[in-house]
Amino acid sequence: MSDLEERVADIARKFAIKNAVDYGVARSDTVINKIFLELPSAKEIGMVNVRAIVDSVVGDINSMSKDELKKEYKMYTFLEQKQRVGLPDLGWADQNTHVNTRFAPNPSGYLHIGHAKIAILCDEYSKRYKGKFFVRFEDTDPKTKRPIVAAYQSIIDDLEWLGCDIGGVFKQSERLPIYYSFAERLLKDGNAYVCLCAKEEMQENRRAGRGCRCRDADPATNIANWKRMFTDFREGEASLRLKTDMSHPNTSIRDWIMFRIIDDEHPLTGKAYRVWPLYNFASAIDDHEMGINLIIRGKEHEINGLKQAYVYDYFGWELPHIMEVGILKVEGTLAHKSDIIRAIKSGELRGWDDPRAPTVAGFRSRSMSPEAIREYVVGSGIGKNDSYLDVKKLDSINRKYLASKEHRASDSR
Ligand SMILES: [Zn+2]
């Protein structure tokens, strides 16, 4: 049996049991309808195969005793009709498309439940379309988003605990030579320039939609100045900017900065580098280099997408598909990473894994099952509206998983 056929059989069993418990006997037609609601990709194995699988499962279920049925019924989770949204198929992909996704956390903190949502969605789609799910640490700002060394491993542990199938791990801080070589191509082609203007001057020009004198420098001058960014320019004296459109209605898109100098020591690479790429440049290069064709991200990244499109244009690359989803927020005084850091410092929380922290590590400490988190996220779908974590709902899903685990444990004794 293929993976998909096995999933169809699992879902068929679950709904055949329910059907038999509810009505005394399971019927194939009812079960088939449920399968296509829960797993639209079932159609890939063909209606004839789906029916054959369902008929065989239904036959088994109808030969079970009432007690056996009830016992197994308790092991499953059935969501309310309206909650069983699931994830829709991707309109642009078929069973031959390998959908590669990436989850790109900043290791300046542990994995927050809100970020876990994005990771789970990425992992779901990569699994469904037999692609790869990559983890990419965005750690190129040793000054304001200083990485925590322990966070790298804790994030991997949390993702694995959540059932994510990690196809590769990258750290951007180890990929600087790659970014430099792409930057040099842009410099040579006259699509980027080293700006030596003071910060205030740059801001003023940006507001006015005016290109500065550095913008007209020839590639040779720019390359010479770029080399000086690695040696004698000081922090704040020079930055590498991409030529976009100085009259773009959004001022932040006007010749955005690709690289700047930061002299702070990086926790992983120490003093090896001082010219650091900003998020948008490193992200665009990596998405292309890693063959990412589906980006799932929070709506707050919309402007970043516009910025990155210029990089894709210059290199003649095809843009990945983008799915913007609502942000999963948490209520309370510990909602944000900064709140958690403050609470850990003050001793209010004993650490990132304190059961009160809305981190994945925190959820692990309060005996949350990873299946419950996944089911909650998948059940919430891919709508664009932000939502608050419904703790009651998550707890109720979790109780069913805990019950079925206890059930299995007592069965095997
Ligand atoms: Zn300038």
Query: Pick from 236, 251, 280: which residue ends a domain?
Result: 280
Residue-level pLDDT at 219 = 97
Whole-number Å distance, alpha carbon 181 to ligand 1 midpoint, is 22
**pLDDT at position 336 over 90:** no
> How remote is the CA of residue 255 from the centroid of ligand 1, in Å?
10
Instruction: Tell how far the Cα of 215 is from the centroid of ligand 1, in angstroms.
Output: 6
**How remote is the CA of residue 197 from the centroid of ligand 1, in Å?**
4
Strand partners, 337: none
| Ligand 1 centre distance from Cα of residue 259 (Å) | 14
Same-domain pairing of 266 and 127: no
Cβ count near 200 (within 10 Å): 8
Mean pLDDT over 255-284 rounds to 97
How large is the C-alpha radius of gyration of the chain? Answer: 26
Q: Which residue has 């709140």 as its token pair?
A: 339
Residue 219 sits in a domain whose CATH number is 3.90.800.10
User: Which residues, 6+ apart, have CB-to-CB distance to 406 below 8 Å?
Assistant: none
Element (H, E) at 282: helix 279-289
pLDDT at 84 over 80: no
pLDDT at position 413 is: 57
Ligand 1 centroid, distance to 193 Cα (angstroms): 8
The DSSP bridge pattern shows strands 166-171 and 133-137 to be: parallel
Count CA within 13 A, CB hemisphere, residue 186. Answer: 27
Judgement on whether residues 391 and 303 belong to the same structural domain of the protein: yes
Is there a single domain that holds both residue 18 and residue 37? Answer: yes
Reported as a single tens digit per residue, the pLDDT across 154-169 is 999 999 999 999 999 9
Which structural domain range is residue 13 located in? Answer: 3-76
Q: Separation of 232 CA from ligand 1 center, angstroms? A: 18
Give, for 317, the enclosing helix (H) or strand (E).
none
Q: 398 with 306, same domain?
A: yes
Class of residue 153 by CB neighbours under 10 A (exposed 0-12, middle 13-18, buried 19+): exposed
195 Cα to the center of ligand 1, angstroms: 4
Query: Do 373 and 235 have their domain in common?
Result: no
| Residue appearing with tokens 């919430």 | 380
CA of 241 to the centre of ligand 1 (A): 9
Q: Which of 168, 162, 108, 109 is nearest to 135 (CA)?
A: 168
pLDDT band at 195 (very low <50, low <70, confident <90, very high): very high
Distance 246 CA to ligand 1 centre (A): 12
Structure tokens at 326: 């609502």
- The yes-or-no verdict on residue 173 having pLDDT over 70 is yes
CA distance 162 to 158: 6
| C-alpha 247 – ligand 1 centre gap (Å) | 16
Residue 351 sits in a domain whose CATH number is: 3.40.50.620
Ligand 1 centroid distance, CA of 183 (Å) = 17
**Helix ranges, 137-268 (H):** 149-161, 176-188, 199-208, 219-230
Strand partners, 322: 295
> In this model, does residue 412 exceed pLDDT 70?
no
Whether 212 and 162 share a structural domain: no
Residue 85: pLDDT above 60? no
Q: Which residue has the higher pLDDT, 338 or 177?
A: 177
Quote the ligand 1 centre to 194 CA distance (angstroms). 7
pLDDT for residue 337 is more than 70: yes
Average pLDDT over the chain reads 91
* In a domain? residue 92: no
Domain-located, residue 90: no
pLDDT of residue 104: 96
Q: Say how many Å lie between the CA of residue 85 and the centre of ligand 1.
A: 51
Residues with CB under 5 A from ligand 1 (ion): 195, 197, 212, 214
In a domain, 81, yes or no: no
CA of 235 from ligand 1 middle (Å) equals 15
- 279 alpha carbon to ligand 1 midpoint, in Å? 21
Compute, in angstroms, the gap from residue 276 CA to the centroid of ligand 1: 18
Residue 93 lies in a domain: no
Average pLDDT over residues 241-247: 96
Residues 30-47 pLDDT 10s: 899 888 888 888 888 988
pLDDT digits (tens, 9 = 90+) for 297-331: 987 777 888 899 999 999 999 999 999 999 999 98
pLDDT tens, residue by residue, 202-232: 999 999 999 999 999 999 999 999 999 999 9
- Give distance in angstroms: CA of 312 to centre of ligand 1: 24
Tally of structural domains, the chain: 3
Above 50 in pLDDT, residue 27?
Answer: yes
CB burial of 365-402 (b: ≥16 within 10 Å; e: otherwise) equals beebbbbbbbbbbbbbbbeeeeeebeeebbeebbebbb
* Per-residue pLDDT at 269: 95
Long-range CB pairs of 10-18, under 8 A, 24+ apart, other chains included: 11/35, 11/38, 11/39, 11/42, 12/53, 12/54, 12/57, 12/58, 13/57, 13/60, 13/61, 14/76, 16/54, 16/57, 16/58, 16/61, 17/61, 17/69, 17/72, 17/73, 17/76, 18/73, 18/76, 18/78
pLDDT at 263: 96
Same domain, 7 and 69: yes
- Stretch 19-39: mean pLDDT: 88
**Domain final residue pick, 76, 110, 130:** 76
Q: What average pLDDT does the segment 6-12 reach? A: 90
H or E element at residue 189: none
Distance 101 CA to ligand 1 centre (A): 37
On whether both 168 and 300 belong to a single domain, the answer is yes
Ligand 1: centre distance to CA 315 (Å): 24
pLDDT for residue 80? 42
CA of 275 to the centre of ligand 1 (A): 17
Quick one: 119 and 47 in the same domain?
A: no
User: How far, in Å, is the centroid of ligand 1 from the Cα of 244?
Assistant: 14
273 pLDDT above the threshold of 60: yes
Is residue 82 in a domain? Answer: no
As a whole number, mean pLDDT of residues 352-380 equals: 93
Q: Is the pLDDT of residue 402 over 70?
A: yes
Q: What is the pLDDT of residue 83?
A: 38
Q: Does residue 121 share a domain with residue 31? A: no
Q: Which residue in the block uniquely carries the two structure tokens 């690479």? A: 269
Count H helices, E strands: the chain?
15, 11
Residue 86 lies in a domain: no
Residues 270 and 233 in one domain: yes
87 occurs within a structural domain: no
Asked whether residue 377 is domain-assigned, the answer is yes
What integer pLDDT is reported at residue 299 of this predicted model?
78
Q: What angle do CA 7, 11, 14 make, to 5 degrees?
A: 145
What local confidence, expressed as pLDDT, does residue 313 receive?
96
Residue 354 CA, ligand 1 centroid: distance in Å: 48
Q: In the predicted model, is pLDDT for residue 99 greater than 80? A: yes
Residue 112 Cα to ligand 1 middle (Å): 39
Q: What pLDDT was estimated at residue 271?
A: 94
Same domain, 288 and 399: yes
Ligand 1 centroid – CA 17 distance (Å): 70
Residues 69, 20 contacting (CB under 8 angstroms) = yes
